[in-house]
Structure formats: structure tokens, C-alpha cells
């Protein structure tokens, strides 16, 4: 196998895609319990896995390719240009901190506003079991980061730079901090909106629910986006996974104990 194909490291490319697919499969028990839907049959699961793998292969390729084009080193650890220990503590600390902050902010929202829970929904349905939450956390850390940080941030950056070049405001395709932060914020907003379909399973979608989703998830998205841009995808993944452990494992355990 060639080391690179179209300027993209093949091992990193397919390694990320396969890891994302595995994380998506691990999410299924969590999603099934959250929405109250049965586990899909094997035939349906195999079709979904095949489609998901193709999608992740495309996402990973485009993300790696576009990142390099605009001057972002997307995977410094996997590329051998950085060591995991360099920013491991920072990533975990940021993930745990923002995860805890989201728990507090969510409590404030629930205290100040009446969340439109659907009939039959309760804290038990809102928070699936910690085991399923742990399995689902891998999708947050891998699958979501591959799409929203590796692909979407560089893609937004490329589009913005392209517009700036058309109007004569940019001379090269190299990303600047202003363009990067604009892309990070846009990706964070998309991250928040992307959680609404899951929220719709337990709540009616109202303006306050949309605001809550964009605000809370947007805070997380900005942190992960900064880590991706400044440190690399690997550290954004670690941070996101750390946050999800707080949100989907430790917090449900605390709720169950109360």
C-alpha cells in the first residue's frame, strides 16, 4: 500500500475512518435507550455500517486534504510531529472543566426555564445508563470530532479564504487566526444544532431548547475547535471524550444516587 494517496497519508486516513465507524457502532445502545427504539437487526446494521464507513472515509480524506492546503497540521501525533504527552493533561483538564461547566449551566437552564419534556420522558430516559454513556462517549470523541473539527473547520476556512481571495483580501490559501476563529465558531454552532434531532426524542423543539443546545454545545465546540487548530485533532478527541465521560457517565451516576 502506498504511504500517501493524493497527498494524504493512507494509514492515518483509513485509521481515522475505521475508528470513527467503530465509535458509531458503540453509540447504538446509547441511542436506542435514549429514543426508546429497539436495537437494529443485523442486516440493517451491516448496511448502515457500510454506508457509515464510506462517509467517514470521505470525511477523513477531505479533512486531511483541506487542512494541509490551508496550513493546518491536522494530526501531529499520528504524523509523528508531536507526542501525546505534550498536551494530554491540558486536553483532559479542558474536557473535564467544560463538561462540568455544562452540567452546571444545564441545571441553571432547568431551574430558570421549563424544559418541554415529552410525555413519559424523565431523568432516566434523558440520561441512559452509565455503561451505554461510556460506550457512546467514544463516538463523541472520535466520530463527531472527525466530522466537525477535522472536516468542517478546515472546510469553512477554505470557503472563507476563497471568498477573501475573490474580493482581493487574501493573497494565499494559508489560514489566519481570524479566519480560523470564524470557522471554529461556525462549526460550534453547527455542533449545537446537530444535537437537536437527539433532543427531539425527549423534548419539543422550542426557541429556548434551540438556544440551550447552541449555547451549551457551542461552548464545548469552541474548546474542541481551539484544541484542533492549535494542538491537533488527537487532543480535541481526548478533550471531547473527557467531557462526555462527565456528561454521560459520572453525571448519570450522581443522578441515580440522588
CB-based contacts of 157, cutoff 8 Å, min separation 6: 66, 70, 72, 175, 179, 180, 183
pLDDT 10s digits, 173-197: 999 999 999 999 999 999 999 888 8
The Cα–Cα gap between 34 and 18 comes to 25
pTM listed for this prediction? 0.93
**Cα→Cα distances 169→209, 235, 239, Å:** 38, 32, 34
| pLDDT of res. 124 | 47
| pLDDT of res. 197 | 84
- Residues 67-77: b if buried by 16+ CB within 10 A, e if exposed: bebbebebbbb
| pLDDT of res. 120 | 59
Residue with more model confidence, 115 or 83? 83
Q: What is the average pLDDT score of the chain?
A: 92
Whether 125 has a pLDDT exceeding 60, the answer reads no
pLDDT 10s digits, 35-89: 778 888 999 999 999 999 999 999 999 999 999 999 999 999 999 999 999 999 9
Number of separate domains in the chain: 1
Containing structural domain, residue 110: 4-257
Cα radius of gyration rounded to whole Å, the chain: 19
Amino acid at each position: 500500500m502506498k504511504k500517501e494517496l493524493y497527498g494524504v497519508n493512507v494509514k492515518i486516513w483509513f485509521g481515522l475512518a475505521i475508528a470513527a465507524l467503530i465509535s458509531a457502532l458503540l453509540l447504538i445502545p446509547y441511542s436506542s435507550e435514549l429514543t426508546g427504539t429497539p436495537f437494529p437487526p443485523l442486516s440493517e446494521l451491516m448496511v448502515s455500517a457500510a454506508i457509515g464507513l464510506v462517509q467517514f472515509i470521505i470525511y477523513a480524506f477531505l479533512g486531511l486534504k483541506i487542512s494541509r492546503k490551508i496550513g493546518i497540521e491536522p494530526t501531529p501525533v499520528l504524523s509523528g510531529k508531536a507526542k501525546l504527552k505534550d498536551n494530554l493533561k491540558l486536553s483532559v483538564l479542558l474536557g473535564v472543566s467544560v463538561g462540568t461547566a455544562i452540567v452546571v449551566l444545564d441545571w441553571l437552564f432547568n431551574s430558570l426555564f421549563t424544559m418541554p419534556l415529552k410525555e413519559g420522558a424523565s431523568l432516566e430516559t434523558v440520561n441512559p445508563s452509565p455503561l451505554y454513556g461510556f460506550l457512546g462517549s467514544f463516538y463523541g470523541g472520535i466520530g463527531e470530532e472527525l466530522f466537525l473539527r477535522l472536516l468542517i473547520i478546515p472546510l469553512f476556512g477554505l470557503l472563507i479564504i476563497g471568498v477573501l481571495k475573490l474580493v482581493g483580501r487574501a493573497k494565499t490559501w494559508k489560514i489566519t487566526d481570524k479566519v480560523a476563529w470564524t470557522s471554529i465558531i461556525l462549526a460550534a454552532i453547527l455542533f449545537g444544532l446537530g444535537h437537536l434531532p437527539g433532543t427531539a426524542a425527549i423534548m419539543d423543539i422550542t426557541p429556548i431548547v434551540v438556544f440551550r443546545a447552541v449555547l451549551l454545545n457551542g461552548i464545548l465546540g469552541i474548546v474542541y475547535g481551539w484544541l484542533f487548530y492549535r494542538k491537533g485533532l488527537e487532543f480535541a478527541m481526548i478533550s471531547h471524550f473527557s467531557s462526555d465521560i462527565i456528561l454521560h457517565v459520572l453525571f448519570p451516576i450522581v443522578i441515580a444516587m440522588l
